[in-house]
Amino acid sequence: MKLAVDTHHLLLEHAGTKRVTVNLIEQFKKTPGVNLLLLSPTYSLKRGTGIIGKLAGHFIRFFWVHIHLPLLCRNKKVEVLLSPEFNTPLYTSCKRAVIAHDAHMRAQRKYTSSLWFYFYYIPFIESAIRRADLIFTVSQFSKNQIVELMRLDESKVVVAYNGVDKSFFLDGETEGGEYRLPAGLIRGKYILFVGTFESRKNIERLIAAFVAVKKHPLAGELKLAIAGNSASSKFSDRSQQIDNLIAELGLTQEVVLCGFVPDAELPMLYRQACLVAFPSLHEGFGLPIIEGFASEVPVLTSNVCSMPEIAGNAALIADPYNTTDIAEKLEQLIFDPILRRQLIAEGVERVKEFTWDRCAKQIVNHLKMLA
């Protein structure tokens, strides 16, 4: 099978989607019977800042996805094209599959510009996903939402769980001994959140819950570390509000904004945390949950969307809309050593269900039926 993977988003992404694509490619290269082509533009997809720069960037990306990429697939006689993120061509001469990680654009419509939603997302992103021959997604929750909100035949949507990069596992720790934590953090003395500053990530309630935890007599030097960048959309970005909240609550020395942490350094940041807190409001999967399991750190996550499905019994589950519940669960994870050991052990077992080898094999088996 001559399989092409569109990798243009690797030039732009620094989030979980990039890790998904990189790991799948690594597995595809080792898969017998797969003639792999990695397709990406040789020109820059970025065109500066400001409205003009952003519009130009969107136009160049549109040109790549809907015009240049289909032409390359035809010229190179590609049998199947896989788009590992939402952007996929409306038309190709070959069979086409796409990974739709979730349906949050529809489920959380209020955080999206109406202009962008109706004049770009619906006609060029969602319509292209609907036209795909096969759609992969990352949880049963996401499949149910995609089928319902995008009005798709469920037989076209296949669940393939994400895996964990091997660098997160402690038994693979061969380097990083000289890694320095961001200023202000002490090993074992910080709660770690990883994700962009989007509304759905619920960072402000996590900060409010942290304030309550800091009142515990044993909290001591405990800090909250937030690793991530601003959201790409101004309608969902909460960077300014988060900065204001930290200042208002007098937490400038207690909350450490780590900014973007490179993939090579992220595992060390996980391993040295007291716990991973991921009380998100909406996720198709939630990579930080299983990355915490692999790092042998206890995890707190939400009782909504895909997160209970991914966590199983290996994480402590909280109501993400209830700051008091988040705070109480954080305290349990921090100050109850028996619970910590139990969840770490269950996380080590649970993470065995999520491997990139298994994910890639499932995807390839379905793609071969298209070819």
Helix 337-350 to helix 323-335 angle (10° resolution) is 100
Q: For the beta carbon of residue 69, count every other beta carbon within 10 angstroms.
A: 24
- The beta strand positions in the chain, using DSSP E, are 2-6, 35-39, 80-83, 95-99, 134-137, 157-159, 190-194, 223-227, 255-259, 275-278, 299-302, 316-318
Do 64 and 193 lie in one domain? The reply is no
What's the pLDDT at 57?
82
pTM to 2 decimal places: 0.91
Parts of the chain with a pLDDT under 50 = 172, 174-176
Do 129 and 186 lie in one domain? The reply is no
| C-alpha to C-alpha distance for 147 and 107, rounded to whole angstroms | 12
Q: Which of 110, 65, 62 is nearest to 83 (CA)?
A: 65
Distances (CA, A) of 35 to 78, 79, 134, 263, 368: 9, 10, 19, 27, 12
| C-alpha to C-alpha distance for 169 and 348, rounded to whole angstroms | 9
Q: Which residues of 361-370 are buried (b: 16+ CB within 10 A; e: fewer)?
A: eebbebbeeb
Do 244 and 223 lie in one domain? The reply is yes
Residue type (1 letter), 181: L
CATH number for the domain that contains residue 334: 3.40.50.2000
202: left (phi over 0), alpha (psi -120 to 50) or beta: left
| C-alpha to C-alpha distance for 296 and 118, rounded to whole angstroms | 43
| For the chain, counts of helices (H) and of strands (E) | 15, 12
Query: What are the pLDDT digits (tens) for 349-358?
Result: 999 999 999 9
**Cα pseudo-dihedral 167, 168, 173, 178, rounded to 10:** 90
Count of alpha carbons within 13 Å of 255, Cβ hemisphere only?
25
Using an 8 Å Cβ cutoff, are 287 and 359 in contact?
Answer: no
Do 136 and 180 lie in one domain? The reply is no
Do 159 and 174 lie in one domain? The reply is no
Q: What domain count does the chain have?
A: 2
Do 282 and 244 lie in one domain? The reply is yes
- Contacts for 340 with CB less than 8 Å, ≥ 6 apart: 275, 298, 333
Query: What are the pLDDT digits (tens) for 108-118?
Result: 777 778 888 88
What's the pLDDT at 197?
94
Do 179 and 151 lie in one domain? The reply is no
Q: Which of 288, 325, 324 is nearest to 303 (CA)?
A: 325
Do 190 and 291 lie in one domain? The reply is yes
What's the pLDDT at 14?
62
Do 73 and 206 lie in one domain? The reply is no
Question: Which residue's structure tokens are 């109406």?
Answer: 114
Domain that holds residue 366: 2-163+355-370
What's the pLDDT at 175?
47
Do 194 and 297 lie in one domain? The reply is yes
Using an 8 Å Cβ cutoff, are 98 and 128 in contact?
Answer: yes
183 φ, ψ (degrees, to nearest 5)? -55, 130
What's the pLDDT at 178?
62
Do 236 and 254 lie in one domain? The reply is yes
Q: Which tokens hold the place of 20?
A: 């998904």
| C-alpha to C-alpha distance for 293 and 145, rounded to whole angstroms | 26
| C-alpha to C-alpha distance for 88 and 81, rounded to whole angstroms | 9
Do 150 and 183 lie in one domain? The reply is no
